[in-house]
Structure 1
Amino acid sequence: MATLLGTDIPIRPRARDEDAATPAAAATHRPVTGSVHSWDLSTGLDGPGSRFVAFLSGCPLTCLYCHNPDTWRMRDGKRTTADEVIAEAAKYTTFISAAGGGATVSGGEPLLQPVFTGELLHRLKHELALHTALDTSGHLGARATDALLRDVDLVLLDIKSWHPGTYEKVTGRPLAPTLDFARRLAALGKEVWVRFVLVPGLTDDPANVEGVARFAASLGNVPRVDVLPFHKLGEAKWDALGKDFTLRATPSPSPAQIADAKEIFAAQGLAAV
């Protein structure tokens, strides 16, 4: 069976969790399932307020600075029903609502499992009445149906670089699908927070930062940009998995470098945090 380049994720014409969401499956109440890495509560990192975050397994990107390389392979996750995830999220709805938060479906890359992701977002929004966010690279944005996106209040969109060559060096994938997805979200009027990881010597070139800033500002639906300083908190995971962490000698950006990047985004009228 063929696999996605850079991973051992199989390419199937139709995934099992997608089969589970067909009308025939719904009629027999077969549960929608997906591969889940973990879930957690977070504040200020995965959307506004305190949030329940479901981390799905599987990702087509192999980012050089990924702090969760253990989420790359779908087969390493736990097969989990949507019912189980919703039941877990329901434990925290009172706290989350009081804290002005919501729920985020993250990864890995959640759009690698679009039907499972869509089921979670729909039920989080309509059964639990939570603000919903989708955390994605946008590389598989074509897999997100309009119905799925209707259940998303906010998209956290990672734009890793403006220079296509740098983007491919960082992720192992082309930039164009992410930009196409961003334009589609703008056409739909969907709120987007852009995320940009600042890596010294890799993504911090002012022209590269300015390219991301100009593009984000042109969309008209990006009220905020998160400038995320590169860190090496995932280094131990790379080592445990026997993977070569090529950014081992790369320093985190200095406060001045972070401030300079934020000023570039601010110059385009974007709130950079």
Structure 2
Amino acid sequence: MSSVRGLLNNVLPFSSVDGPGNRSVVFLQGCNLACVYCHNPYTIGLCTHCGECIEPCPEDALSAVDGKVVVDWEACTRCGICIDVCPESSTPLAETVTATEVVDRVRRSAPFVSGVTISGGEATVQPDFLVELTAAFKDDPTYGTKSVLIDSNGKAPTELWDRLAPTIDGVMLDLKAWDPQDHERLTGSGHTEVLDSLAHLSTLGLLTEVRFVLVPGWNDDPDILDAMADHLADGGVPLKLIRARHHGVSDPVYDEPSVDHAEAVAERFRARGIAVRIV
């Protein structure tokens, strides 16, 4: 039995918004970006066991044992109050698990889904566990014939994609911004690795979709969008254009884009032969 264990935020047996068709979704804990529009910021950080969440828990499901926050799963109702009060953009409910345990949790859904998507947080911040998890899904008799996709921000070394290539069917890459300064302003980090991943995944034939969250005034300069569209036009990969929302964002610092604005941006890509879906 492998000794590799991962930190799991949550699993969804069924989802229609995390890839093609109806899919099971695995959310891993931890992220290497801090996007201003992140709608699930509790997946970013790692629990420091500070204990700030213990007293507010209405079910008394949290306690401190040997300096760590421990969850009474029979009492926990997943009300989310612990997440609301967490000062670390984290959750005490993340669990340390094996790949086999994750597959077991969603196995009953297998007959009703087209595959599984591994997301986060950012799945690639747990590289060894991610490699083991994708292999576990491919080796499983109920999931082995179904697609295994990764939803990633692309901030990962290209060597990791080489390791994952035998056990995944594709990557949906979230391209936050084409301009490096815009990317850093949006996420707190540069995008050299992201662009390397974009090119490498395309070469491997594993780039199944590019996702772009439209944030007015942050990543929608027309000239930069045209440069991005010119680059993506060579790959023949569809673009999912996502209108940034305020829902789930703790302190929005941007305006939500209108439908008309999103359509205008989409036309820049469609004019170059790129299939665009707006959500």
TM-score range, shorter chain: 0.7 to 0.9
Q: Which of 100, 105, 119 is matched with 1:88 structurally?
A: 105
* Secondary structure class of the residue paired with 2:211: strand
Please list the CA deviations of residues 82-126 of structure 1 after superposition, one character each: whole Å capped at 9, or x if unmatched: 121100121101111xxxx21011011111001111111112123
Aligned mates of 1:230, 1:42 — CA distance in 2? 23
Aligned mates of 1:84, 1:228 — CA distance in 2? 32
Offset of 1:191 from its aligned partner? 3.2
Q: Which of 247, 267, 276 is matched with 1:272 structurally?
A: 276
State whether residues 34 and 81 of structure 1, in contact with CA within 8 Å, keep that contact through their aligned partners in structure 2: yes
Answering whether residue 244 of structure 2 is matched by residue 230 of structure 1, we say yes
Offset of 1:68 from its aligned partner? 0.9
Tell me the equivalent position of 1:252.
256
Q: Which of 12, 17, 22 is matched with 1:40 structurally?
A: 12
Offset of 1:263 from its aligned partner? 0.7
Answering whether residue 75 of structure 2 is matched by residue 103 of structure 1, we say no
Aligned mates of 2:121, 2:159 — CA distance in 1? 15
Alignment of 1:15-94 (within 5 A): 29-75=1-47, 76=91, 77-94=94-111
Aligned mates of 2:184, 2:255 — CA distance in 1? 21
Aligned mates of 2:128, 2:15 — CA distance in 1? 27
Greater Rg, structure 1 or structure 2?
Answer: 2
Q: 1:190 to 1:145 in 2, by over 3 A?
A: closer
Tell me the equivalent position of 1:24.
none
Answering whether residue 216 of structure 2 is matched by residue 209 of structure 1, we say no
Offset of 1:209 from its aligned partner? 2.2
Q: TM-score, normalised by structure 2?
A: 0.78
State whether residues 36 and 80 of structure 1, in contact with CA within 8 Å, keep that contact through their aligned partners in structure 2: yes
Answering whether residue 164 of structure 2 is matched by residue 148 of structure 1, we say yes
Tell me the equivalent position of 2:266.
262
Q: Which of 125, 128, 131 is matched with 1:112 structurally?
A: 125
Aligned mates of 1:197, 1:36 — CA distance in 2? 25
Amino acid at match of 1:70: Y
Aligned mates of 2:224, 2:16 — CA distance in 1? 26
Q: TM-score, normalised by structure 1?
A: 0.79
Gapped runs of 5+ residues in structure 1?
A: 1-28, 239-244
Offset of 1:32 from its aligned partner? 2.9
Offset of 1:145 from its aligned partner? 4.5
Q: Which has the higher helix share?
A: 1
State whether residues 31 and 83 of structure 1, in contact with CA within 8 Å, keep that contact through their aligned partners in structure 2: no
Please list the CA deviations of residues 176-233 of structure 1 after superposition, one character each: whole Å capped at 9, or x if unmatched: 1100111111221223200000111111222232232222222x251x1100000011
State whether residues 40 and 54 of structure 1, in contact with CA within 8 Å, keep that contact through their aligned partners in structure 2: yes
State whether residues 158 and 197 of structure 2, in contact with CA within 8 Å, keep that contact through their aligned partners in structure 1: yes
Aligned mates of 2:186, 2:150 — CA distance in 1? 22
Structural RMSD (CA): 1.6
Tell me the equivalent position of 1:6.
none
* Secondary structure class of the residue paired with 1:135: strand
> Matched residue pairs, number?
229
* Secondary structure class of the residue paired with 2:203: helix
State whether residues 33 and 80 of structure 1, in contact with CA within 8 Å, keep that contact through their aligned partners in structure 2: yes
State whether residues 59 and 74 of structure 1, in contact with CA within 8 Å, keep that contact through their aligned partners in structure 2: no
